[in-house]
Structure 1
Amino acid sequence: MKVPPAKADTFSKSPDSNIRAILVYGPDEGLVQERSKSLVLSVVDDPLDPFRIVDLDNDQLKKQPALLSDEAAAISMMGGRRVVKIRSAGDALANCIKDFLQDPIGDALIIFEGGDLPARSKLRKIFESEKSAAAIACYKDDEKSLPNVIRQTVEKEGLFISNDALSFLVTNLGTDRRLTRRELQKLCLYKGKNSGNIELEDAIACIGDTATLTLDDIALSVAMGNIRNLENNLRRAQQENQNAITILRSVSRHFQKLHMISGLVTQGIPLDKALGTLRPPLFWKVAEPFKAQVRKWSPKALAKALSMLMETEANCKKTGSPAEILCARTLLEITAKAPTRIR
């Protein structure tokens, strides 16, 4: 069973009683941990209960496949349903889980935590096709999902957030759910519980120093033709464990926005009015650089850059070359040829 993204959070809090095993996977490790914890809490009250929760890892189960059935069938000393968690799950466990699902024993909920498993992953295919199993994908928050995460987090603390502050946070957070939660908790502590609105100056004062370098910074560097900034941002992205596909897609989204606005301007729509169609709206600090990019980049040049980005993403998935090198090479080439570049 493949859990739709829109129902992933609801399912994690209250999974179907017929589901025996659940794979939680994806590039957002923080979100994987968050949804895995929700699944655990759907069965036990204390996520640290040693009598009802057992932790295994990929290597343990690979060496001793029978452990899965043994732990699933075990009875808690203190009573109650048990949870078996398997960390760092990979395709090496595909046969193990397939055999277990053919004749599951016991009533324990089995939770597999995986990384960014590709669509061809054997483990993914098993969890997506079996009726008694489910797969939950955990992708990085984007401009559609992140605003709700921010609002829900601050509202739990009795706070509200202004549109400007929300726009700033959407621009500077979202690469990892765990980091996003941590930064928002810090912001709420800074503002004080039940103290009214979080304004832009609050967000800048609390978040600005630690979260200003995001995937959007890479996209801006490329579109502005700033090679030095691009190199610095790529190093930071590597330190934050951003993968090449995520970086390429982030830059592609930026160029898609440029292409859309450039098209509207070509049709005779004033630039400021065209920018008003963007959702979420541009953060004020990047509005002027974005306008400069629209004025300099032609629709033809933007289309060519988008084609290069999509081709590189495809090559990252199907060639043997290191994805990071392919990504960096393409971004540097686009940056070097950018019409905004000051030579």
Structure 2
Amino acid sequence: MKAKAAEIARFCAAPPSSAVGALIYGEDPSVVAARREALAHAVVGAQGEAEMRLERLAAPVLRRDPAALDTALRARGFFAGRRCVVLTEAADPDAPAVAEALADAAGPEAFLVVTAGSLAARSPLRRVFEEAKAAWALACYADPPRGAALREWYAAAGGGAAESEALAALEALGQASPPEAIRRLVETLALYKLGDPAPLSAADVAALAPLESDAVVDALVAAAADGRPAAARLGPAAPEAVVAALRRHFRALHGVLATMEAERCAPEAAVAKQRPPVFWKAQKPLAAQARRWRLPQAEAALRLLHETEADLRGGGWLPKRAIAERALIRIAMMTAR
């Protein structure tokens, strides 16, 4: 079965007694890991790990020994209580072994938790859980960090008070950078302010924020969004970094286009309405790109990028650079003149 976004936290905190397994997948490993640990400990209880009722396997082990998962689920411990087997780093090639173990070994005495990265809509691994009657597929998507989370990160790193303008600046940076990069910046800011009684300010954020992101990746994202296929060549850039940057950019572009359609406003006004606000350097280019793109095209680009990320993680026969460059060129061709 497929869990709705609003159901995921509740499921991980208290899974139904009828459930025998769950797939937790998504683009952000930290979000997937947090859901995995919450669910595993909900199944076995506070003492489950100490009582050896929680077992962990990595997918590479399963590929070398296809019976390992079935064996782990059927094992019996010295302590009473339900057991939980966690399979990490899973991908589509693992679907047959997971399906067999889920059908034959998971049940009232053993619960299976499988984690994976991004998976395409037609993913065989997703279908195993989505089509099962007693297993669930939980899709986890990482949103850019907001004010409350940023304030918690800053306090956890040893920081003191923070002005609302500083948090707003960090939110804006989060629209163009992955959460891990923003967390590292927050930790650096806390160290920078150590011993300084003044609250964190927007000027502090500007002083320590990277002056520019990877110039090569930025140029490739601009080439794709501006409809310039001839410039959409991967070159020395890392395939994963380019695809991740494209996904972040087109998610922002999709938000602008959706606002334009819903409120019948100009691109500049739609950019100004985005929350968290768009980083000021990106506002003008994003508005210009919103004049080229239509909402269905942006949705098609996001679907393509989601599938491309899954392909990059899936370990197929095509080289990763070829997979990423193909997506880059296909997106650039969507609005090429």
TM-score normalized with structure 1 length: 0.67
- Superposed counterparts of 1:205-224, under 5 Å: 205-208=207-210, 219=221
Offset from partner CA, 1:232-285 (integer Å, 9 cap, x none) = 9x85563xx24638615623633762796696349xxxx6x6654332223344
Q: CA deviation at 1:124?
A: 0.9
Offset from partner CA, 1:72-122 (integer Å, 9 cap, x none) = 243444665543221222334333333344353563332212122211122
- Tell me which amino acid in the other structure corresponds to 1:167: A
CA distance in 2, matches of 1:36, 1:17: 17
Aligned partner (choices 91, 101, 120) of residue 118 of structure 1: 120
- Tell me, yes or no, if the aligned pair for 1:28 and 1:140 is still in contact at 8 Å: yes
* 1:40 is aligned to 2:40: yes
Q: CA deviation at 1:309?
A: 8.4
- Tell me, yes or no, if the aligned pair for 1:151 and 1:161 is still in contact at 8 Å: yes
CA distance in 1, matches of 2:212, 2:38: 28
Residue in structure 1 matched with residue 314 of structure 2 by the alignment = none
- Tell me, yes or no, if the aligned pair for 2:297 and 2:334 is still in contact at 8 Å: no
CA distance in 2, matches of 1:122, 1:211: 36
Unaligned 5+ runs, structure 1: 338-343
- Tell me, yes or no, if the aligned pair for 2:293 and 2:335 is still in contact at 8 Å: no
Unaligned 5+ runs, structure 2: 312-317
The number of equivalent residue pairs is 321
- Tell me which amino acid in the other structure corresponds to 2:137: A
Cα distance 1:290–1:215, how it changes in 2: closer, same or farther (>3 A)?
Answer: same
Structural RMSD (CA): 5.0
State the secondary structure of the residue aligned to 1:113: strand
- Tell me which amino acid in the other structure corresponds to 2:126: R
- Tell me, yes or no, if the aligned pair for 1:245 and 1:316 is still in contact at 8 Å: no
Cα distance 1:46–1:124, how it changes in 2: closer, same or farther (>3 A)?
Answer: same
Aligned partner (choices 249, 273, 280) of residue 276 of structure 2: 280
Offset from partner CA, 1:14-60 (integer Å, 9 cap, x none) = 43343221211122223222222222333354897593432222243
Offset from partner CA, 1:215-238 (integer Å, 9 cap, x none) = 8886567668999x9879x85563
Cα distance 1:316–1:96, how it changes in 2: closer, same or farther (>3 A)?
Answer: closer
Residue in structure 1 matched with residue 141 of structure 2 by the alignment = 139
CA distance in 1, matches of 2:53, 2:216: 40
Q: CA deviation at 1:64?
A: 3.9
CA distance in 2, matches of 1:92, 1:222: 31
* 1:325 is aligned to 2:325: yes
Identity %: 24
CA distance in 1, matches of 2:38, 2:117: 18
Residue in structure 1 matched with residue 130 of structure 2 by the alignment = 128
